[in-house]
Copies of this chain bind each other. A is one copy, B any other.
Amino acid sequence: MRILVTNDDGIDSPGIYALTQSLKEIGEVIVIAPQKGQSAVGHAITMQIPLRVTKSFKDGKFFGHAVSGTPADCVKIGIRNIMKETPDLVVSGINHGSNTAINIIYSGTVSAAREAAIMDVPSMAVSITNHEVTDFRFAAKISKMLAKEFAGKGIPLGTLLNINIPDVPEEEIAGILLTKQGKSKWDEVYDHRVDPQGRDYYWLTGNLMEVDKAMDTDQIAIKNNYVSVSPIHFDLTDYKTFNKMKTWNIERLLNGKKN
């Protein structure tokens, strides 16, 4: 199995290193990741400036390809140019900080896996609920287990699996659950400050308002120490509203036209 590994924290992050070491036990791994941290870039792609690709080394040995762009860029240029053939699996992570509920929208980690899904390559995004230095051993082990399992089962084309792992000792992990994207959102505040030149500036801050209750949502699963696995796709059509809007008869708005 050939596995493309990427992330959004940058190629020097400990999370991608732990993931890579673990996945090497089940396949051939190629690392293609952003040169610099790219948290919260969402599904940004680089079009106005060209991309650069450089070799990245760890302990004097070649580790992977560093791309001067976003996580989605890494998957695109990785599959189109750097790799000689399409990988069997793309794994993005291990991200510092969970990617559950509304955070999926902002996440570079998930967007890299989503870019793979768009390219019809099976993919997984992996995040751990911790923003500080942490022990990635269990997260790396479960990533390997799930990569093997899901590659075997066959992730449906156009779907990515979004995996969130609680940052607790392995013996406290409650199990693993199939989940849906939660509905919890941020209650944001901009922290207004004044710089030494007297000019205003604003820092984004806020708290996640937890509205989810069901154990089969990503947000509640990780809160209860379950590893969460959610299937995510990129068909954004709101079919419920689509059906409702049929009764609005919007075609009448351009009367005198052909329809």
Q: A residues near B, CB below 8 A?
A: 37, 39-48, 50-53, 72-73, 76-77, 80-81, 102, 104-106, 111, 114, 118, 142, 145-146, 149, 153, 156, 158-159, 173-178, 180-181, 185, 188-190, 192-193, 199-204, 226-227, 229-242, 244-246, 248, 250-251, 253-254, 257-259
| A210 CB to nearest B CB, Å | 15
Q: Which residues of B contact A176 (CB under 8 A)?
A: 250-251, 253-254, 257, 259
Report whether B118 and A202 are in contact in the complex, using a CB–CB cutoff of 8 Å: no
Q: Closest B-chain residue to A255, C-beta based? A: B175
Q: Tell me which of B50, B111, B190 contacts A51 (CB under 8 A).
A: B190
Q: Closest B-chain residue to A52, C-beta based? A: B201
| A137 CB to nearest B CB, Å | 15
Q: Which residues of B contact A104 (CB under 8 A)?
A: 236
| A34 CB to nearest B CB, Å | 13
Q: Tell me which of B41, B102, B188 contacts A42 (CB under 8 A).
A: B41
Q: Which residues of B contact A257 (CB under 8 A)?
A: 173-176
Report whether A111 and B42 are in contact in the complex, using a CB–CB cutoff of 8 Å: yes
Q: Tell me which of B40, B192, B235 contacts A81 (CB under 8 A).
A: B192
Given known A-B contacts A176-B251, A227-B254, A45 and B106 have beta carbons under 8 A apart: yes
Please name 15 pairs of A and B residues whose Cβ atoms are closer than 8 Å in the assembled complex, sorted by A.
Answer: A39-B47, A41-B41, A41-B44, A50-B202, A52-B201, A76-B190, A80-B189, A104-B236, A175-B251, A175-B259, A176-B253, A176-B254, A178-B251, A181-B236, A234-B236
| A119 CB to nearest B CB, Å | 8
Most buried by B among A39, A72, A158, A234: A234
Complex: A233 Cα to B240 Cα, angstroms: 10
Q: Which residues of B contact A46 (CB under 8 A)?
A: 40, 204
Report whether B77 and A177 are in contact in the complex, using a CB–CB cutoff of 8 Å: no
Complex: A79 Cα to B40 Cα, angstroms: 20
Complex: A227 Cα to B45 Cα, angstroms: 27
